[in-house]
Amino acid sequence: MIQHLPKTLPWAHHKATSARLLSALLLLLLSALILPAQAQTIPRAEPGWQFSVTPYAWVPSIDGTLRYQLPGQPGPDSADVSKDGSSVLEALNFAAMIAAEARYQRYSVMTDFIYLDLGANGSKVRDVNFGGGGSTGVGANLDRGTESSLSGSLWTLMGGYTVLQGDWGHADIVGGFRLFSLNSETNIRLAGDVTAPSGSASFNRNAKLSDSATLFDGVIGMRGRLGIGKGFYAPYAFDIGTGSSTLTWQASAGLGYQFSWGGVALGYRHLSYEQSSKNLVQDLSFSGPFLALNFTF
């Protein structure tokens, strides 16, 4: 549902930067990256199950765009969001995450679930698009406490099969899905109404925009690790897919050390989502270093 106070316009193009909103998107989507490369077991010839559980931390930079649809209007608002991932934890109210893998010889199953709830945090309206009436920029001096909040979850489920293995390491083909659910709300508070260049329409200084999205994408790819020697290894992962998204893909690589009970790895990851112009989530990209600790048994 999208709410808007009186004196609305035909079109509004709303660009915002929200630390809390971006932090939620970041943590929701980082689990999809950490799972394939870090919650890993090693295939072995003898029969028997192996299991792995992985806590993780990731500090990427984010670029993204949200687009709100105003009630009774022919076109959507659009919010561009960009935030340095170093402030992610400052915006959290609550987060619950778990990733795990089960393997039987060459076969493996991986799953990950995360839920996030964030309260209101500062946003910025940068410009308003009035459709045929043109676009009007909104200066930072007009902001009077615009805020955004978000809650959502991400569930990833993938199956894998080891196609290559040896003393050098192993390579698995993987396939499955990512399910991303997002609820967002932006409370706009400005010093004055924003008027179209033609003067034919205006955007109210006080408005509430809210929307939700569910993205279900099938993905295929490859993951594994390369043995370096003396307990050191290089984990890697890549997948690509589509569905609710026009395109989603991820890539990661790192350096790790294996203990008898698990391992620790440090590396770099990138995740990208793209959708068409009618959707709330237009595009999102996440890039940055990660640190992961996995426990195997």
pLDDT in tens, 225-283: 999 999 999 999 999 999 999 999 989 999 999 988 889 999 998 888 898 877 888 88
Q: In this predicted model, what pLDDT tens digit does every residue of 121-153 receive, in sequence order?
A: 777 777 777 766 677 777 778 888 887 777 778
Q: How far apart are the C-alpha atoms of 36 and 249, rounded to whole Å?
A: 12
Q: What is the end-to-end Cα distance of the chain in Å, rounded?
A: 46
According to the model, what pLDDT value does residue 139 have? 77
Residue type, 71: P
According to the model, what pLDDT value does residue 39 have? 57
Tell me the average pLDDT across 56-69.
Answer: 72
Q: How far apart are the C-alpha atoms of 38 and 15, rounded to whole Å?
A: 35
According to the model, what pLDDT value does residue 89 have? 59
Q: How far apart are the C-alpha atoms of 80 and 277, rounded to whole Å?
A: 13
Residue type, 55: P
Confidence label for 90 from pLDDT (cuts 50, 70 and 90): low
Where does 136-217 have alpha helices with state H?
Answer: none
| Helix, strand or coil, per DSSP, at residue 195 | strand
Domain boundaries, the chain: 19-289
- Please give the CATH architecture assigned to the domain spanning 19-289: Beta Barrel (2.40)
Average pLDDT, the chain: 77
Q: How far is CA 72 from the centre of its chain?
A: 30
83: nearest Cα among 101, 64, 98: 64
| Residue with more model confidence, 83 or 46 | 46
Highest mean predicted confidence (pLDDT) among 64-78, 128-142, 204-218:
204-218
According to the model, what pLDDT value does residue 60 have? 65
Highest mean predicted confidence (pLDDT) among 29-33, 185-189, 194-198:
185-189
For the chain, what percent of residues have pLDDT higher than 90? 30
Q: How far apart are the C-alpha atoms of 282 and 248, rounded to whole Å?
A: 12
According to the model, what pLDDT value does residue 68 have? 75
193: nearest Cα among 3, 1, 15, 5: 5
According to the model, what pLDDT value does residue 51 have? 95
User: Cα torsion at 263, 233, 36, 182 (round to 10°)?
Assistant: 70
Tell me the average pLDDT across 100-127.
Answer: 83
Confidence label for 195 from pLDDT (cuts 50, 70 and 90): confident
CB 61 within 8 A of CB 30: no
pLDDT at 40 over 70: no
Confidence label for 77 from pLDDT (cuts 50, 70 and 90): low
pLDDT at 2 over 70: no
Render 126-150 in DSSP notation, one character per residue.
-EEE-GGG-EEE--GGGBS--EEEE
According to the model, what pLDDT value does residue 72 have? 52
Looking at residue 68, the DSSP 8-state letter turns out to be P
Residue type, 33: L
CB 57 within 8 A of CB 289: no
**Cα angle: 274, vertex 30, 221; to 5 degrees:** 65
Print burial letters for 233-261: b (CB count within 10 Å at least 16), e (below 16). bbbbbbbebeebbeebbbbbbbebebeee
